[in-house]
């Protein structure tokens, strides 16, 4: 098999990159180790920055998002029994975010890919990138017992944190930075109306909570839990009781509860791998970096990497500007580290880290300060809606 760009992984990074490249006539094949249903069944992010919304439009996969997605102009920070609104639009000169689930984004991109007749190979085993320091890289895999080699010009490693791409690069050429947090988020998805029209990030002495939503009838709630917690120990009743305790009383009394349709615990981690380019292999999205979800940045950072790689590849194929590909790491990492900082800061300010009273008071004072200062609110707003994409040159 032969293509121009071999893409490993059919998460949002791989699917979005594939679709954007297709709009420029650049051939690509996606190789995914899981089944299509498995990929579609993962419940993850739900807040899209304007930059990602624009990319989905550019990729021709935005019709349903534009119809069903919910534009949000603000978010709430709740603490000490009260709620403070961060007026995203007012503080940023009109910028907003779109609430539209990652599952829906994935589905729309898969549909667009099928419509365009592009090849995706699901349930591929033993996927392995080769020879990416040469001009003839390839990806090998087995499908239904048959060994296949995909020859290509470039490989995009869009295979997430546990993927094979980052593991395949010479480890002495890779530097990693990591912070693992001593807690996770227990998330519940339920077919109940959201407690608020806008997201609520709540700090409480029992721990952090988040009220989020996917639509007018589907809610997504989270509570901070210890790192070693087991989801089986959390009945729906226990979850709802705990969530109510962490919300301001007037919000808790309005909460509509119901059976969970998904319940899982996600660990929280900050991670960056540098560089993101190894010859003709490029790491994209979670393959190169992870943020704790407190700033709603994971999916959005994947989109900004995709944007940079797509523009550099387009310039390479259409104008012979391969020099732009050399800048891929540097351009991506500038924005990635700013989002890492914001996500770490929001996590530090809003979570309970332990029993150290001094740390608790400092985090409390910081939240009190930023929500009482226009400069503080503006800092949150401009990071939350998403910093501008870095130019390639």
Of 84 and 266, nearer to ligand FAD (C-beta) is 266
Sheet holding 28-31, edge to edge: 119-121, 28-31, 5-8, 154-157, 281-283, 277-278
Q: Tell me, rounded to whole angstroms, the distance of Cα 218 from its chain centroid.
A: 20
Angle at 305 between CA 129 and CA 57, to 5 degrees: 115
Query: If DSSP codes are grouped into helix, strand and coil, which group holds residue 6?
Result: strand
Of 123 and 368, nearer to ligand FAD (C-beta) is 123
Residues within the interface to ligand FAD (CB under 6 A): 8-14, 31-34, 39, 44-45, 102, 127, 158-160, 163-164, 266, 285-286, 293, 296-299, 302
At closest approach, how far in Å is the CB of 275 from ligand FAD?
17
At closest approach, how far in Å is the CB of 253 from ligand FAD?
26
**Dihedral pair phi/psi, residue 389, rounded to 5°:** -65, 140
Active-site residue (options: 100, 154, 181, 201)? 201
At closest approach, how far in Å is the CB of 25 from ligand FAD?
23
Beta strand residue intervals within the chain, DSSP E: 5-8, 28-31, 47-48, 70-72, 75-79, 82-86, 97-99, 119-121, 125-130, 138-143, 146-151, 154-157, 175-190, 200-202, 209-213, 219-226, 260-274, 277-278, 281-283, 289-290
Of 34 and 143, nearer to ligand FAD (C-beta) is 34
Active-site residue (options: 100, 181, 310, 384)? 384
In whole angstroms, what is the distance from residue 291 CA to residue 274 CA? 15
Of 74 and 285, nearer to ligand FAD (C-beta) is 285
At closest approach, how far in Å is the CB of 305 from ligand FAD?
8
254 classed as catalytic: no
384 classed as catalytic: yes
Beta strand residue intervals within 285-326, DSSP E: 289-290
181 classed as catalytic: no
**Dihedral pair phi/psi, residue 139, rounded to 5°:** -125, 130
Active-site residue (options: 293, 310, 351, 389)? 293
Active-site residue (options: 83, 203, 289, 297)? 297
At closest approach, how far in Å is the CB of 44 from ligand FAD?
3
Of 9 and 69, nearer to ligand FAD (C-beta) is 9
The contacts of residue 365 (CB under 8 Å, 6+ apart) are: none
133 classed as catalytic: no
CB 138 within 8 A of CB 152: yes
**DSSP for 363-390?**
HHHHHHHHHH-HHHHHHHHHHHS-PPPP
At closest approach, how far in Å is the CB of 29 from ligand FAD?
12
Active-site residue (options: 12, 22, 72, 277)? 72
100 classed as catalytic: no
Q: Locate 72 and state its tokens.
A: 């949000």
Task: Specify the pairing of strand 97-99 against strand 70-72.
Answer: antiparallel
Of 200 and 359, nearer to ligand FAD (C-beta) is 200
Residues labelled as active-site residues: 72, 201, 293, 297, 384
């Amino acid at each position: 098999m032969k293509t121009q760009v071999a893409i490993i992984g059919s998460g949002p990074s791989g699917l979005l990159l594939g679709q954007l490249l297709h709009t420029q006539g650049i051939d690509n094949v996606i190789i995914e180790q899981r089944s299509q249903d498995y990929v579609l069944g993962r419940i993850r992010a739900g807040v899209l920055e304007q930059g990602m919304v624009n990319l989905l439009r550019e990729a021709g996969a935005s019709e349903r998002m534009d119809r069903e997605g919910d534009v949000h102009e603000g978010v709430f920070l709740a603490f000490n029994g009260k709620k403070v609104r961060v007026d995203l639009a007012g503080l940023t000169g009109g910028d907003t975010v779109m609430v539209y689930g990652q599952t829906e984004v994935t589905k729309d991109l898969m549909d667009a890919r099928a419509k365009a007749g592009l090849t995706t190979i699901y349930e591929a085993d033993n996927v392995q990138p080769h020879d990416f320091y040469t001009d003839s890289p390839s990806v090998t895999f087995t499908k239904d017992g048959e060994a296949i080699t995909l020859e290509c010009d470039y490989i995009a490693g869009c295979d997430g944190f546990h993927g094979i791409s980052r593991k395949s690069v010479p480890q002495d050429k890779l530097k990693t930075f990591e912070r693992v947090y001593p807690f996770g988020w227990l998330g519940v998805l339920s077919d109940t109306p959201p407690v608020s029209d806008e997201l609520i990030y709540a700090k409480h002495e029992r721990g952090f909570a988040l009220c989020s939503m996917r639509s007018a009838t589907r809610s997504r709630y989270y509570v901070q839990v210890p790192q070693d917690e087991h989801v089986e120990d959390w009945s729906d009743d226990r979850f709802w009781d705990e969530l109510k305790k962490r919300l301001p009383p007037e919000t808790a009394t309005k909460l509509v509860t119901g059976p969970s349709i998904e319940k899982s615990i996600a660990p929280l981690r900050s991670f960056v791998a540098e560089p993101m380019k190894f010859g003709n292999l490029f790491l994209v999205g979670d393959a190169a970096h992870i943020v704790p979800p407190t700033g709603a940045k994971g999916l959005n950072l994947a989109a900004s990497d995709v944007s940079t790689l797509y523009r550099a590849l387009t310039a390479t194929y259409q104008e012979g500007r391969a020099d732009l590909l050399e800048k891929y790491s540097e351009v991506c990492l500038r924005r990635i580290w700013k989002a890492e900082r914001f996500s770490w800061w929001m996590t530090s300010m809003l979570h309970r880290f332990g029993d150290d009273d001094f740390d608790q008071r400092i985090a409390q004072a910081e939240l009190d300060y930023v929500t009482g200062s226009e400069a503080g609110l503006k800092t949150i707003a401009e990071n939350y809606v998403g910093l501008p994409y870095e130019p390639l040159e």
